[in-house]
Amino acid sequence: MVFKRMLLAVPSLIGVVIVTFLLTRALPGDPAAYFAGPAADKVAIEQIRVKLGLDQPLIVQFGRYVNDLVRGDLGQSLTTGQPVATEIRNRLPASAELTLLGLIVAMVIAIPLGILAATRPGSWVDHTCRVVATAGVSLPVFFLGLILVYVFYYLLGWSPAPLGRLDVFYSAPPHATGFYLIDSLIAGNFESFRSSASQLILPAMTLGIFALAPIARMTRASMLAVLGSDFVRTARASGLTPYTVIITYAFRNAMLPVVTTLGMVFSFLLGANVLVEKVFAWPGIGSYAVEALIASDFAPVQGFVLTMAIMYVALNLLIDILYVLIDPRMRIEA
């Protein structure tokens, strides 16, 4: 089943490559004019355009781009002068650490809240779940981030300045995984761990609040549907404890829609991460792509979109594997 899904993902990736290439060429702005500077004349701009290969027909540019992709070359950034693959490899751990921590924060809050709301319909917990879900969907993620910075950094002074992954007085831990929290623990540098954790709190809270709304709502709806099933009533009639009925029987059968929602939410977080990184000056691939987009730098934007597409495909494969582990019936069907 996994191999079949991987084969089905190939046409999607090909479509992403084609659409991204065409969209970047359709964007307003001329990279040659941008890098030539405002004082450059038409001759200088044309020389840069020839040097960049932008004077060639689109089909020729696309063929060269695909040939580079086959060799694992995502191109070179014109703004930084570094290979795009190297930049993405260096920045991806920062985005992944922030996104995963935001998802963990959302799961820790949303799943218990959804279960409690389903087991106590009409109670204050249920109303709280609805309010949280509505607020999470309604608030734009960048606005939420700015509000958190204003309250916790500017007014209360509880949070450090939103200026990246570490305080300016600390150095990055030795590279092992690229995740500062893990690398600092491996190195035994607890000061760096404390600094990186404090820098992560507000951006992770921003993503977590944005993500917990759909997770809580789906958990509540799925649990309500399962709690009304015959096998749950039978389990209760057998004298099993409420904890066993809810967690062992009901929640396990309600997990499939929740897992699907988690996959969708993670995909949303990858997109929302772009805005959060700009608000908190986070050195991830989202801010890297935005800076390249402003400069009409095609290669980083194409590399960013292709990386997101590959991560999305890998996430769908992981969800399929989790389906099989959660529901043995799907293992038999596969």
Q: What is the CATH number of the domain that holds 245?
A: 1.10.3720.10
Poorest-confidence range of 12-16, 106-110, 138-142, 324-328? 324-328
CA–CA dist 332, 334 (Å, integer) = 5
Is 145 found in the same domain as 273? Answer: yes
Region 174-199: mean pLDDT is 86
More confident residue, 61 or 5: 61
Collect all residues with Cβ–Cβ distance below 8 Å to 260 and sequence separation of at least 6: 319
Is 110 found in the same domain as 64? Answer: no
Token look-up 């801010």 returns 287
Query: Mean pLDDT over all residues of the chain?
Result: 80
Token look-up 């993902």 returns 9
Residue 110's pLDDT is 87
Q: Flag whether 261 is in a domain.
A: yes
Encoding tokens for residue 188? 């035994």
Is 194 found in the same domain as 106? Answer: yes
Q: What is the pLDDT of residues 128-173, one digit of tens each?
A: 878 877 777 777 788 888 888 888 888 888 888 888 888 877 788 8
Q: Flag whether 269 is in a domain.
A: yes
Identify the burial level of 260 via C-beta atoms within 10 angstroms of its C-beta, where 0-12 means exposed, 13-18 middle and 19 or more buried. middle
Q: Flag whether 314 is in a domain.
A: yes
Is 93 found in the same domain as 226? Answer: yes
Q: Flag whether 30 is in a domain.
A: yes
**Chain mean position to CA 31:** 28
Q: Flag whether 9 is in a domain.
A: no
Q: Flag whether 126 is in a domain.
A: yes
Residue 84's pLDDT is 86
Q: 134 near 213, Cβ under 8 Å?
A: yes
Region 91-103: mean pLDDT is 88
**Is the entire prediction scored with pTM above 0.75?**
yes
Cα angle for residues 196, 199, 203 (degrees, 5° grid): 130
Bridge partners of 83? 76
Is 261 found in the same domain as 165? Answer: yes
The answer, yes or no, to whether residue 29 has pLDDT greater than 70, is no
Residue 330's pLDDT is 57
Q: What is the pLDDT of residues 257-272, one digit of tens each?
A: 888 788 778 877 877 7
Residue 329's pLDDT is 60
Q: How confident is the model at residue 14 (pLDDT cuts 50, 70, 90)?
A: confident
Is 137 found in the same domain as 268? Answer: yes
CA–CA dist 51, 68 (Å, integer) = 17
Of all residues in the chain, the percent with pLDDT exceeding 90 is 0
The answer, yes or no, to whether residue 288 has pLDDT greater than 80, is yes
Region 322-334: mean pLDDT is 61
More confident residue, 285 or 39: 285
- Pick the closest to residue 246 from 259, 258, 256, 233 (CA basis): 233
* Domain end among 70, 101, 134: 70
Number of domains in the chain: 2
Is 234 found in the same domain as 143? Answer: yes
Alpha-carbon Rg for the chain, nearest whole angstrom, is 24
Is 200 found in the same domain as 91? Answer: yes
3-state DSSP call for residue 83? strand
Is 144 found in the same domain as 58? Answer: no
CA–CA dist 8, 127 (Å, integer) = 42
Residue 247's pLDDT is 80
Rounding to the nearest 10 degrees, give the CA dihedral for residues 288, 293, 294, 299.
80
Of all residues in the chain, the percent with pLDDT exceeding 70 is 90
Residue 328's pLDDT is 61
Region 82-110: mean pLDDT is 87
Is 93 found in the same domain as 55? Answer: no
Q: How confident is the model at residue 79 (pLDDT cuts 50, 70, 90)?
A: confident
Is 137 found in the same domain as 51? Answer: no
Query: Range of 41's domain?
Result: 16-70
Q: Flag whether 181 is in a domain.
A: yes
Is 170 found in the same domain as 198? Answer: yes
Q: Flag whether 292 is in a domain.
A: yes
Q: What is the pLDDT of residues 189-242, one digit of tens each?
A: 888 888 888 888 899 888 888 888 888 888 888 888 888 787 878 878 887 788
